[in-house]
Structure 1
């Protein structure tokens, strides 16, 4: 079995948060394979620690993926501030005899350095065209944990665990290896939080993550972090404004200053993403929705909404509103050019991470979250059938069936994009529904 099918069988997906099935990226050849180790979301600490803890495995996983797609070079993108990790990676690359194929490249400490189109440009100077993917410019991008999972798959281990940072206004920020399907509450309690309900919880990073409406959910393969803040924190109040409320605020208060556009990462790469124009359309009730197709170029990094706008408005939310309208009418943005150049002012308009953290009120919580051994003994795990981009997995186990950790419990539907699912712990299948498989675990069986 070749690497593509090994990765497919193991259920490897993009562990950086998007959840795109990794095998699909390995169906084409590319000139470069890039490792995204930027981890640009404030407070999250997974990738930087994985590269320190498992350098050989990550390097080997990246190298094997690169060989499969016949890349001529592999590049590891990591922020220059992580000096010790950079030195370790360079040492191990040389020791493994990969110095002619693989290079560590230092990134500036900016947001969003981990946006894959920003990463492609920072590492190769190439620009991914509008509404396109890195493969269009000869690149395949995977993140650090994904490369680790590729290595594990090659050694017979499917994806049954994920690494998660718990951070924010809590006693003990930590990063854990967590069995997929574990209740979110159980992970949070491991950080010394006595009552999780006292907090608002952001699922993912503080910029792109959303506030959970309930803490009764479960960890998935693409879970990357949970940020806990007091319910009256600025960031929570901003993120919980409804789309309708954001529309009303934007319509009445936008002064067309252009800051949302001038600091937009995609605009600075030469794309036609101009949030101020979408805000203008909202203000003037422009009815021709086709004129607002540029909203589909938004990568939803939230820089415009949480950093750029001096009036504290909601351009990202308004972009999302127009995206919805465009999707409902089946309208897709059509690029008008093929070649792109960065805007001349780009180097002067990049967003420093520390300034961003201060702007969104997280400086006091910008602390280490050390990777800490933890033993999770949940009574139940719930494995979501759709924790990836594509079609939900189809259950291949029966009610009452005894399952072992690593056993296949959900398979990709025929002729569909998707990801296989595996039991993360030993147990018995207690429930199968349209959305998930519930397993009663271990000694509780």
Structure 2
């Protein structure tokens, strides 16, 4: 008996009926060739493959018939020799039941192989060559979404790996494909793990397997001992619990490490691979065979002969139903995958793909129709079993009410859709279906935003181009309209004439530079948004390139701005707020939020420890004190930095206004243009004020209290809009006074700026009082968060005092006037 690795635990989990023995009574089956093989071009996550063959072509077994079509894509090979009879849309194995482009292969029953090219000297080859070879062999993950293996291993090469974990848990009920694979191909599995370790160079290799597979465990131990790999590969036997086979859950079981929200295992030095992937790597490297078949479980009470079969990719499901003697009369539901995470097949003619691990033919008694959905009784059982430590009840409410931003904030995308919450729900609520809908809506919204940004960028570029063309035409018109200088012009007049002639040229260059700067800013904004999206989606392959493009675009923008300042030197301005200062404040906000979350997490752990009288309670209390102090320090640092940034912005705005006032030599056309823009801005700001007031009145009419209205953020928005309106009106009045144009000045009835400031300050005082009252109520309801709430109360009291002082000063000024 080999020594086993230590085992830990993860939150939640359930113990459904296993139903694994019925498919292990018969040996591994090998169905005969069907009449045709249907090979979808999209059998994995990412882009679909691109076909290399045409209708009428004859192909050999193992021949490449489609190549990768992008970074996240894979090759596709002919599972047998035959003829391509069609390339058309066919129904595919997908929850949507939709069709996709497929290559239809008619077998010739000869099984003639193409020339195989194994890599017997793989240990002497470079890792890049081996990864390229695996990509050409079409190897993808065989236990999940079908992530291309070479992409996953490329990420491993960029990080120092501590663990290479081989996932042999197979926790889903009914499925025994991996169990049979480990029994039938133990030697190939171990050699495949050795090849993976050569590519990953992890400090430790762990095989995680559930204790309900005694025969596979024994054979693995014997094979590891026979190859003298006891010091290189450790077997970790974990208790049977669903979903211990989930990637993040298995990592927590074997290493006691938790993958952070929004991150991947590679970010904490861990990589996981399925046992089926390991055997596929062995077949490709040692035998030269591409991925053209897999082991699939045929199980369920509707089968007379449930068993595991090694089946060619593209084999129609109805061919397998006939092979295992499925009783159509008793068949109620046909499911691809297990009962927890699988999906119903409406069309039995869909084909087997690289990720098909089980076909479940269930009777009505075996999988009865779910009960009608009822109202949530708030029992909390879903939270207790969630392996991702989420709040399923909150996510359900947010998804039902279309509050997808809140659902995303509550880590909706950390849901692995295991179905444990739906399994224990006494109200029969299909929670997973709601979460899938919410994820889909969020993805659609993101794509719409990206398209909108692209459209906006195209519009801005077109507008800038049109302005540049108009400026060029105007310059040419002025050049044609100006009379040529006379030969006998007095020499003293010549310099002035030359200067006047040079003015339009300088103005034209300035206009062109301004247009170039506008285009550069638009490009920079687009690149930064693309970079942010790539960072959120963890697309590590493109983040570096995008960062380089952002830096290059910033340099280009800086050069253009320097050229503009050299061409027309501007008066001295206040120090400009840099992006680093903005980023520092933003980072402080993020750190403060993380610190608050850490405090809450420790408080929750203390509460659990108190319930069970855990010995680590003292240590948790110390951690809470440290975390609370850190959160308090970050809050104070954030307040100081925010105040400094606001003062810098105020100084910069004052400098810009002074610079604008000193530029009294602007032309009449420029003055009119500025006046027109200010009038438009005033109208927009006025509309925003009216809209905010109208929304507040509507909320009051609905009977909402002041606290609810404050929580909506509308009073604060109204205050900001009124302040902006007063500022714009003041600028418009200054422009009218400096230009002597009475039409530019505000019309009669326009509110006095001082009155607007007083009104704004009164609202700020009322808002501070309401927020302070709300915090005091919160303190009564949540005494466990007293430290954090006291800090917030102190800040609000200071803000209220400052607002009242400023209001008193404004009222005194109004009385004097």
Return the TM-score normalized by structure 2: 0.38
Tell me the SS of whatever aligns to 1:12: coil
1:23 matched to 2:141? The reply is: no
Match of residue 386 from structure 2: 264
Q: Is the 8 A contact 1:278 1:292 kept in 2?
A: yes
Larger relative contact order, structure 1 or 2 (CA cutoff 8 Å, min sep 6): 1
Q: Deviations over 1:195-251 (max 9, x none)?
A: 389442101111100000111101111110010112x4574633xx9xxxx9xx4xx
1:237 matched to 2:369? The reply is: yes
Match of residue 160 from structure 1: 292
1:59 matched to 2:186? The reply is: no
Residue 85 of structure 1 and its aligned partner are, at CA, apart by 2.0
Gaps spanning 5+ residues in structure 2: where? 1-124, 450-532, 538-589, 612-817
Match of residue 322 from structure 1: 438
Residue 131 of structure 1 and its aligned partner are, at CA, apart by 2.1
Tell me the SS of whatever aligns to 1:329: helix
Q: Residues 301-316 of structure 1 correspond to what in structure 2 (within 5 A)?
A: 301-306=418-423, 308-316=424-432
Change in 2 beyond 3 A, CA 1:60/1:203: same
The structure where helix makes up a greater share of residues is 2
Q: Is the 8 A contact 1:180 1:219 kept in 2?
A: yes
1:211 matched to 2:340? The reply is: no
Question: Over alpha carbons, which structure has the higher Rg?
Answer: 2
Q: Residues 112-123 of structure 1 correspond to what in structure 2 (within 5 A)?
A: 112-123=243-254
Change in 2 beyond 3 A, CA 1:274/1:222: same
Q: Deviations over 1:139-188 (max 9, x none)?
A: 11111111000111112110010110011112111100001111111112
CA distance in 2, matches of 1:301, 1:343: 25
Match of residue 234 from structure 2: 103
Tell me the SS of whatever aligns to 1:123: helix
Q: Which runs of 4+ in 1 moved over 6 A?
A: 331-336, 338-346
Residue 313 of structure 1 and its aligned partner are, at CA, apart by 1.2
Q: Residues 138-149 of structure 1 correspond to what in structure 2 (within 5 A)?
A: 138-149=269-280
CA distance in 2, matches of 1:25, 1:197: 43
Q: Residues 287-298 of structure 1 correspond to what in structure 2 (within 5 A)?
A: 288-293=403-408, 294-298=411-415
Match of residue 369 from structure 1: none
Q: Is the 8 A contact 1:260 1:315 kept in 2?
A: no
1:275 matched to 2:392? The reply is: yes
Match of residue 328 from structure 2: 195
Change in 2 beyond 3 A, CA 1:292/1:194: closer
Change in 2 beyond 3 A, CA 1:233/1:194: closer
Change in 2 beyond 3 A, CA 1:36/1:343: farther
Change in 2 beyond 3 A, CA 1:175/1:288: closer
CA distance in 2, matches of 1:196, 1:7: 44
Change in 2 beyond 3 A, CA 1:90/1:183: same
Tell me the SS of whatever aligns to 2:388: helix
Match of residue 376 from structure 2: 254
Q: Deviations over 1:89-133 (max 9, x none)?
A: 122112112211101110110000110000111111111111222
Match of residue 441 from structure 1: none
Change in 2 beyond 3 A, CA 1:26/1:312: same
Q: Is the 8 A contact 1:184 1:219 kept in 2?
A: yes
Q: Is the 8 A contact 1:3 1:65 kept in 2?
A: no
CA distance in 1, matches of 2:215, 2:242: 21
CA distance in 2, matches of 1:236, 1:4: 46
Q: Is the 8 A contact 2:165 2:272 kept in 1?
A: yes
Tell me the SS of whatever aligns to 2:170: coil
Q: Is the 8 A contact 1:11 1:158 kept in 2?
A: yes
Tell me the SS of whatever aligns to 2:191: helix
* Paired residue total: 328
Q: Does 138-147 or 323-332 show the bigger shift?
A: 323-332
CA distance in 1, matches of 2:143, 2:368: 22
Return the TM-score normalized by structure 1: 0.68
Q: Deviations over 1:372-424 (max 9, x none)?
A: xxxxxxxxxxxxxxxxxxxxxxxxxxxxxxxxxxxxxxxxxxxxxxxxxxxxx
Which of 117, 131, 139 is the equivalent residue of 1:12?
139
CA distance in 2, matches of 1:292, 1:234: 34
Residue 263 of structure 1 and its aligned partner are, at CA, apart by 0.8
Tell me the SS of whatever aligns to 2:193: helix
Change in 2 beyond 3 A, CA 1:21/1:31: same
Q: Is the 8 A contact 1:63 1:74 kept in 2?
A: no
1:300 matched to 2:420? The reply is: no
Tell me the SS of whatever aligns to 1:300: coil
Q: Is the 8 A contact 2:399 2:438 kept in 1?
A: no
Q: Is the 8 A contact 2:399 2:435 kept in 1?
A: no
